[in-house]
């Protein structure tokens, strides 16, 4: 069985995923990393050279690739679950967990992160807030289809893990 971590960029999918994988003895997979390895190109370069729509095609393919594996924690790119086809594939292939965070906290986290994210390049905090509010409105209907929704606002990592643990016992 696989566990998919879904949610907006900056919500903590990678950090939570790595800890959860260690705890369960699962393999940790990051879908951006999978795409970068498969095409031998960074996500930033794919966006600038081939455009966002090509990246979304690669994401769709990556989900199909990952359907074949087992016992993995899969941290998905923020936009990956946001199509009917992709959320369907995710739901058919394992348990999905949405790490839910408000737009302001997401902006703070993303602007303090060194991870290059093509959608945020060159934007001020105010512009990021507008963009995140807009994107969240489009994306949440997909994120909300997750099997488990964990509200991580104001929680420390230990508390997030405890919450996930208690949901998974149910």
Q: How far is the CB of 122 from ligand S3P (least distance, A)?
A: 14
Radius of gyration over every alpha carbon of the chain, rounded to an integer in angstroms: 15
State the binding string over 136-165 for ligand S3P (x if CB under 6 A, else -): ------------------------------
Q: Tokens representing 85? A: 């086809």
Binders of ligand S3P in range 102-121 (CB under 6 A): 117-119
Residue 35: CB atoms within 10 Å: 21
3-state secondary structure of 166: helix
- Spatial contact of 66 and 74, defined as CB atoms under 8 Å apart: yes
Q: What are residue 160's phi and psi, to 5 degrees?
A: -65, -45
Q: Tokens representing 130? A: 């507008």
Q: How far is the CB of 124 from ligand S3P (least distance, A)?
A: 18
Q: Which is nearer to ligand S3P, 52 or 70 (CB)?
A: 52
Q: Which is nearer to ligand S3P, 79 or 94 (CB)?
A: 79
Binders of ligand S3P in range 37-56 (CB under 6 A): 43
Helix locations, 25-156, DSSP H: 31-39, 43-50, 52-67, 84-93, 103-111, 125-143
Residue 79 contacts ligand S3P per CB under 6 A: yes
Q: How far is the CB of 29 from ligand S3P (least distance, A)?
A: 12
Q: Which is nearer to ligand S3P, 32 or 93 (CB)?
A: 32
Binding-site ranges for ligand S3P (CB under 6 A): 9, 13, 32, 43, 77-79, 117-119
């Amino acid at each position: 069985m696989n566990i998919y971590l879904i949610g907006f960029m900056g919500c903590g999918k990678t950090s939570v995923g790595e800890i959860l994988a260690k705890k369960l003895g699962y393999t940790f997979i990051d879908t951006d990393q999978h795409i970068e390895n498969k095409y031998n190109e960074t996500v930033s370069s794919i966006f600038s050279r081939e455009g966002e729509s090509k990246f979304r095609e690669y994401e769709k393919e990556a989900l199909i690739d990952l359907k074949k594996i087992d016992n993995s924690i899969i941290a998905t790119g923020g936009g990956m679950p946001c199509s009917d086809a992709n959320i369907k594939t995710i739901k058919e292939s394992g348990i999905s967990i949405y790490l839910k965070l408000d737009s302001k906290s997401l902006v703070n986290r993303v602007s303090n992160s060194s991870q290059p994210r093509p959608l945020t390049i060159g934007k001020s905090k105010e512009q990021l807030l507008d963009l995140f509010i807009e994107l969240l409105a489009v994306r949440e209907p997909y994120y909300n289809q997750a099997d488990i929704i964990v509200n991580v606002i104001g929680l420390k990592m230990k508390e997030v893990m405890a919450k996930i643990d208690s949901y998974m016992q149910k």
